[in-house]
Amino acid sequence: MDEIEQGDPEEVALENALRKARAVRAARRLRPGEAVLGVDTLVTRDGVIYGKPADAEQARATLRALSGSAHRVLSGVALLFAQEERTALASTEVRFRELGEPLLEWYVGLEEWRERSGGYAIQKGGSLLVREVRGDYENVVGLPLATLLDLHPALLAALR
């Protein structure tokens, strides 16, 4: 399943989440009441989508581009049932501190950038790159729980 990495960031996040969920739904027959969840999280600044860096050099370039500025973390959420599709978008603003070379090299050396949109993991060492978060922190971690509960409020009852 190919992910889209160009286009309107909000549309890309939603389309990627739908593709993931649809692939799972197509591979198995859902019973009544069952659902498939697809989520795609990406980082964007000034319309540019920063996906998962391929290597350390690309991680450095991404982190330099985000240094000292605000970016958005977008998560497309798709909840699919046998005959119904529900989607929503979560958006969180993250502001990075100015990343000097020692901090940048230390962080790239941790290799947390691997398999991380935007090249960082806020719940780990990447927290030192961040000056401010506006919005849902869980979205930046990767699963916007509040958005998921908005799509399917009955999930709250299942937690009791």
The pLDDT score that the predictor gives to residue 153 is 80
Q: Is the pLDDT of residue 155 over 80?
A: no
pLDDT band with cut points at 50, 70 and 90 for residue 129: very high
In a domain, 40, yes or no: yes
Least confident span in 1-15, 49-63, 135-149: 1-15
Structural domain span for residue 119: 9-152
pLDDT 10s digits, 31-87: 888 899 999 999 999 999 999 999 999 999 999 999 999 999 999 999 999 889 999
Note whether residue 118 is domain-resident: yes
Which CATH number is 58's domain given? 3.90.950.10
- Give the DSSP H/E element, type plus range, for residue 127: none
158 belongs to a structural domain? no
In the prediction, which pLDDT does 6 show? 81
Q: Does residue 95 lie within any of the structural domains?
A: yes
Mean of the per-residue pLDDT values of the chain: 93
> If we measure between CA atoms, which residue out of 41, 42, 38 comes closest to residue 87?
38
Residue 99 lies in a domain: yes
Q: Once rounded to an integer, what is the mean pLDDT over residues 132-140?
A: 97
Contact call for residues 86 and 79 (beta carbons, < 8 A): yes
Report the side by side order of strands in the sheet with 130-134.
Answer: 48-50, 36-45, 70-80, 85-96, 130-134
pLDDT at 128 (0 to 100): 98
Confidence (pLDDT) at 158: 63
- Number of domain units in the chain: 1
pLDDT in tens, 74-91: 999 999 998 899 999 999
Task: Tell me if 3 is assigned to some domain.
Answer: no
Q: Which residues are designated catalytic?
A: 40
Decide if 160 is inside a domain.
Answer: no
Radius of gyration of the chain (CA): 17
Task: Kindly state whether residue 66 falls inside one of the protein's structural domains.
Answer: yes
* Mean pLDDT score, 120-143: 96
